[in-house]
Amino acid sequence: MRVPFLDLKAQYEPIQLEMNAAIHQVIKQTAFAGGPFVEQFEKDFAAFCNCKYAIACSSGTSALRLALFSLGIGPGDEVITTPNTFIATAEAISACGAKPIFVDIDEETYNMNPELLEDAITPQTKAVIPVHLYGQVCDMEKILRIADSHGLFVIEDACQAHGAEYKDWTAGSMGDAGCFSFYPGKNLGAYGEAGAVTTNKPELAEKMRMYRDHGQETKYYHSVAGWNDRMDGIQGAVLSVKLKYLAGWNQARRQHARNYSEQLSNIGDIVIPVDPANGKHVYHIYAIRTQYRDALMKHLSEQGIACGIHYPVPLHMQKAYEHLELPEGSFPVAETCAREQISLPMFPELSFIQIKAVCKAIETALPVIN
From the list 82, 109, 111, 181, which residue makes contact with ligand PLP (rule: CB under 6 A)?
181
59 near ligand PLP (CB under 6 A): yes
Q: Using CB under 6 A, which of 38, 49, 159, 334 touches ligand PLP?
A: 159
- 85 touches ligand PLP by CB under 6 A: yes
With left for phi above 0 and alpha for psi between -120 and 50, is residue 128 left, alpha or beta?
beta
Largest CA distance in the chain: 68
Binding mask 117-156 for ligand PLP (x = CB under 6 A): --------------x-------------------------
Distance of CA 6 to the CA centre of its chain: 16
Question: Which of the stretches 86-94, 226-234, 268-276, 321-329 binds ligand PLP when contact is defined by CB under 6 A?
Answer: 86-94
Rounded CA gap, 262 and 42, in Å? Answer: 38
Residues that bind ligand PLP (rule: CB under 6 A) add up to a total of 14
Q: 92, exposed or middle or buried, with CB in 10 Å at 0-12, 13-18, 19+? A: buried
Told to check if 160 binds ligand PLP by CB under 6 A, we report: yes
Q: Is 41 in the site for ligand PLP (CB under 6 A)?
A: no
CA-wise closest residue to 91 among 131, 134, 138, 148:
131
Please answer whether residues 78 and 63 qualify as being in contact, where contact means their C-beta atoms are separated by less than 8 angstroms. Answer: no
Regarding 157 and contact with ligand PLP (CB under 6 A), the answer is yes
Task: Supply the minimum distance, in Å, between the C-beta of residue 158 and ligand PLP.
Answer: 8
Give the residue with the Cβ less far from ligand PLP, 86 or 292: 86
Residue nearest ligand PLP, Cβ-based: 60
CA–CA distance, 312 with 178 (Å, rounded to integer) = 26
Sheet strands (E) in 69-176: 78-81, 99-102, 125-128, 153-157, 165-166, 169-170
Contact 188, 43 (CB under 8 A): no
Q: By C-beta, is 160 or 354 nearer to ligand PLP?
A: 160
Phi, psi of 34 (to 5 degrees): 60, -145
Closest distance between ligand PLP and the C-beta of residue 260, in Å?
Answer: 20
> Whose Cβ is closer to ligand PLP: residue 59's or residue 250's?
59
**Which residues have a Cβ under 8 Å from the Cβ of 3 and sit 6 or more positions away?**
304, 305, 306, 345, 350, 354, 357, 358
Residue placing its CB nearer to ligand PLP in the complex, 238 or 361? 238
The smaller minimum CB distance to ligand PLP, of residues 70 and 89, is found at 89
| Between 283 and 292, CB nearer to ligand PLP | 283
Interface with ligand PLP (CB under 6 A): 59-61, 85-86, 88-89, 131, 157, 159-160, 181, 183, 195
